[in-house]
Each structure stands twice: as structure tokens, then as C-alpha cells.
Amino acid sequence: MGGRRSTGSWSPGASAGAHLAALLALDEQTKAAGAVVFYGVYDFLNRHRTRPDWPLIPRKVMHATPEQRPDLYRLASPLDQIRPGAPPFMVVHGDHDSLVPPAESRIFVAALREAGIPVRYLEVRGAQHAFDVFPTPRARAAWGAAIGFCLDVAEGELPAGGC
């Protein structure tokens, strides 16, 4: 499988950017080569109660409650946009994240794997939300893993169903 170079775009992001990058990568029309997402929210409906319900989302982002517009919340949830043929993902989350607990990423990763999407999951021990803002050893290791993932995707080195 090696030697195949990807010419598609990449979808990187952290926190709210991870949410948007995941949506972009899962959109069939974007033809993303892959996505690297750090500590994002992937289920706006919060079906698994992985985090508190933040009033910011219905008031400032969605302009409706989940009960009023569950259809919009599903459209805004990467978890609901997973489809066969989506590009490979690398999902990174700190195991001490108190803003977006790592269960959010674990559920997303399980759903990607269930759909047969190649995915790497890195849960960074001792890392809090936005741990990669400063060039600490944890951040450097996570970004090194992300770069390795991107190189593997570019070379066609990811197995079809998960990694």
C-alpha cells in the first residue's frame, strides 16, 4: 500500500476547531485526505452525558435548544456525520481534560472504528484541555505523533479499518 501520495486537503483543529475540522473532513464534498483533531466536542446533543450541558451552545451557537431543533444539533454533530469512505482521523485528547472530558473523544473514535474509518487515538496522560498551547514535552510528543500520522496517510500506510 506504500508509495501512494495523497493530494487532498487536510483538516486540523483543536477544541472548537476540532469540531469544525471533523465536520469538514466528514463532508463528502471536501475530499479531505485526513483529519487531526485535538480535544473536540463531537456530539452537540450530548447523548452520552460526557460533559455538562453548556448554555453557550443553545444561546449563542445554535439559537435553539436540542429539544426545539434536534435536527440542527445532529447536523452540527460530527458523530452523526460519520460515513463509510470518510478520510482517516487522528484524535488526541488529554486524560485530565476538565472542560471536554476524554469520553467525548472515546465515543467518537469508537463510532469511527465501527464505520471502518482508519483512526488513531492518542490519550495524553496528565494533559488538560489546550495542553498543546505551549511547547511542553507532552505537546511536542502529541504533535510529533500527529505529524507521523499525516506522513503515514500521505504514504498510504494506514490499514483499511482502523489503527
The verdict on whether 95 is a catalytic residue reads no
Look over the chain and give the mean of its residue pLDDT values, rounded to a whole number. Answer: 90
Residue 3: predicted pLDDT: 42
User: Which CATH number applies to 10-154?
Assistant: 3.40.50.1820
Where do the domains of the chain lie?
10-154
User: What are the tens digits of pLDDT across the range 121-135?
Assistant: 999 999 999 999 999
CB 84 within 8 A of CB 91: no
Place of cell 445532529: 74
Residue 159: predicted pLDDT: 60
Residues with Cβ within 8 Å of residue 112, at least 6 apart in sequence: 82, 86, 89, 91, 119, 162
Residue 158: predicted pLDDT: 74
Residue 8: predicted pLDDT: 56
Residues with Cβ within 8 Å of residue 99, at least 6 apart in sequence: 15, 39, 51, 129
The verdict on whether 97 is a catalytic residue reads yes
**Prediction pTM value:** 0.89
Identify the active-site residue in 43, 80, 97, 152.
97
Whole-angstrom distance, CA of residue 79 vs CA of residue 74: 8
User: What are the tens digits of pLDDT across the range 12-35?
Assistant: 789 999 999 999 999 989 888 999
Residue 157: predicted pLDDT: 82
Residues with Cβ within 8 Å of residue 30, at least 6 apart in sequence: 9, 11, 24
Residue 13: predicted pLDDT: 81
Residues of the chain with pLDDT under 70: 1-11, 159-163
